[in-house]
Structure 1
Amino acid sequence: MSRPFQEKLVIITGASRGLGAGLARYLAGKGADVVINYTSDNSTPAAKELAEELQSQHGVKAVVAQVDITTPEGPEKLMEIAKSNFTKDDGNFQIDFLINNAGVVNPAPMGSVTLGDFENTFKLNARAPLFVIQAAMPYLPNDRSGRIVNVSSITTSMGFWWQTCYAGTKGALEAMTRVWARELGERATVNSINPGAMATGMYTGLPKEMLEKVWSLNYMAPLARTREGIDSQETIDAAKDMGGRPAYLEEVAGIVGLLCMPEAGWITGQVIGSNGGGVMTKG
């Protein structure tokens, strides 16, 4: 197995479940050591189980870091945990890849959006990545080999129903991505990805009216068409009510992996399509 990321360190926020866990598995499979960040006590068993899985299956070092990155002290605390576990014998500590994956949706139609909904969404989706990156800056490479990937959303381009908070804060993240790409150009590339529906179970808790809207999101994606003999029957059956299948986690994680490769060193400040063609943009 090719291990292009051996001896590289990646910090992934919101990594105990869903896409974050998928990213951890993918990058660890390529040889990267991983810091698994999460917040809730309820996620501790999943985070620890994931760390054990990565270490046993891939021979990498994986560390869990229960830190609320929306607090003033959270980002620095996350870096201290990483430093205490990955500083080399010669005293060198470097963060090679940083994936800002943590996010919250808080869907609500116009007329029922609350101040608390917006502030909580903004704190995690937009403000936290800024301060996590600032805390990581002293430890980024100085040869442009660093990679920062921000997980945005297809909703920033679709005007998707009930997504004032989510699309608005992810749109802010995309705007800041371009600023950071310029300011950190000597240290790292900075890009965003914009996934659509993913096989994470994230839609099961949404209101029925919202789930009905997902149909149009998947229907517009040419790669969301199901494939007999390739996709499971369960996936094919579920896709009938969703307009198409969601992305498998490894498909989106693979795009992040591509952005982390040395060969991707000429890509920065971009929103990279990762939604099966649901949104096609001219870069």
Structure 2
Amino acid sequence: MTKSSTITSTAYRSLEGKVALVTGASRGIGSSIARNLASKGATLILNYTSTSSTQICNDLASELTEKFGGKHIVVQADMGSQEGPNHLIETAASKLPNLQLDIIVNNAGIISDGKIEDFKIEDFEECYSVNVRGPLLLMKAALPYLPNDRSGRIINVSSVSATAGIEGQSVYGGSKAALDAMTRSWARELSARATVNSINPGPGMTDMWEKSSAGLSGDLRALMSLVPLGKVREGIDDKRISKENMGLRPAYVEEIAGIVGMLVSVESGWCTGQVICANGGMRMSV
């Protein structure tokens, strides 16, 4: 075995021995992040909210074990409730003795669309409970289990909506802007224990996307036209995507997960407090 092949082999299992917690892991971006981290050797704590996702998440855990080895655990906990984050951490600690949370991905979130005239206080409270309070309470509960040598990696899944000024997303965009603000604060507070960064996806090809026959809305189609990496590649990308969206495409969830995989690596140890592009260049353009 040559030196170069040894390096490649080690890099493939670069997260061996690490424990990674992913909230909202049952589908979409969350499940893709879980697959990415498991492929690198991490042990996954897979969180989901609704009972309807129980089998999906259990199947994902089995898939990860079959493909990548290891024993991955599943924990149902509502990140929008006051008790959910603490329950998630306590359950994980009971199932994994001597728990150290090397990686935390705050991915669970909900979207709230609506213009000012349609604003409802309950929509605001639900969105901020999941997207803002949930990650904060989770981090509070996780503090005793974080590394003490700055090797920890915390990734918050934000959105281009935090800064792009998308019409009808004052509540959702505001919640993600708050998450970005917390990212910067945590980067300072936790500097001796972990790096803390956000990623800001734009439209992604999630299950919700694929169930939609309309494709991109008018507003998002206009924004996607400015994305350097959003042009469909002939013979590579799904022809249906091109037909529905005038030659444009959203991100594949694996592309977004790959950015998380990069940020949790040992090589990313000098990067903290940042919002990292995960949108094909959309935020650069608008």
Please indicate the TM-score interval, normalised by the length of the shorter structure.
Answer: over 0.9
Pairing partner for 2:103 from 84, 97, 103: 97
> Residues 108 and 206 (structure 1 numbering): CA distance in 2 closer, same or farther, change over 3 Å?
farther
Q: Which residue of 2 aligns with 1:248?
A: 252
Pairing partner for 1:160 from 166, 169, 172: 166
Matched ranges for 1:255-270 at <5 A: 255-270=259-274
1:127 matches 2:133: yes
Contact 2:131–2:175 (8 Å) recurs in 1: yes
Contact 2:215–2:245 (8 Å) recurs in 1: no
Q: TM-score, normalised by structure 2?
A: 0.92
CA distance in 2, matches of 1:207, 1:53: 29
CA distance in 1, matches of 2:26, 2:215: 28
Pairing partner for 2:145 from 139, 144, 169: 139
Q: Which residue of 1 aligns with 2:50?
A: 40
Pairing partner for 1:61 from 67, 71, 76: 71
Task: Give 1:201 deviation, angstroms.
Answer: 3.4
CA distance in 2, matches of 1:206, 1:158: 23
Residue identity opposite 2:240 in structure 1? E
> Residues 161 and 210 (structure 1 numbering): CA distance in 2 closer, same or farther, change over 3 Å?
farther
The alignment partner of 1:202 has SS state of helix
Pairing partner for 1:175 from 181, 187, 190: 181
CA distance in 1, matches of 2:186, 2:124: 23
How many pairs were matched up?
A: 275
Q: Which residue of 1 aligns with 2:5?
A: none
CA distance in 2, matches of 1:3, 1:207: 39
Contact 1:162–1:210 (8 Å) recurs in 2: no
Task: Give 1:71 deviation, angstroms.
Answer: 2.0
1:52 matches 2:52: no
Q: TM-score, normalised by structure 1?
A: 0.93
Task: Give 1:70 deviation, angstroms.
Answer: 2.2
Q: Which residue of 2 aligns with 1:11?
A: 21
Task: Give 1:235 deviation, angstroms.
Answer: 3.1
1:157-177, CA deviations, whole angstroms, 9 ceiling, x for partnerless residues? Answer: 210011011100000000111
The alignment partner of 2:245 has SS state of helix
CA distance in 2, matches of 1:208, 1:18: 19
Structure 2 unaligned blocks of 5 or more: 1-8
The alignment partner of 1:64 has SS state of strand
Q: Which residue of 2 aligns with 1:215?
A: 221
1:186 matches 2:192: yes
The alignment partner of 1:28 has SS state of helix
Task: Give 1:193 deviation, angstroms.
Answer: 0.3
Q: Which residue of 2 aligns with 1:148?
A: 154
Contact 1:238–1:245 (8 Å) recurs in 2: no
The alignment partner of 1:223 has SS state of coil
Task: Give 1:273 deviation, angstroms.
Answer: 0.7
Task: Give 1:244 deviation, angstroms.
Answer: 1.4
> Residues 78 and 231 (structure 1 numbering): CA distance in 2 closer, same or farther, change over 3 Å?
same
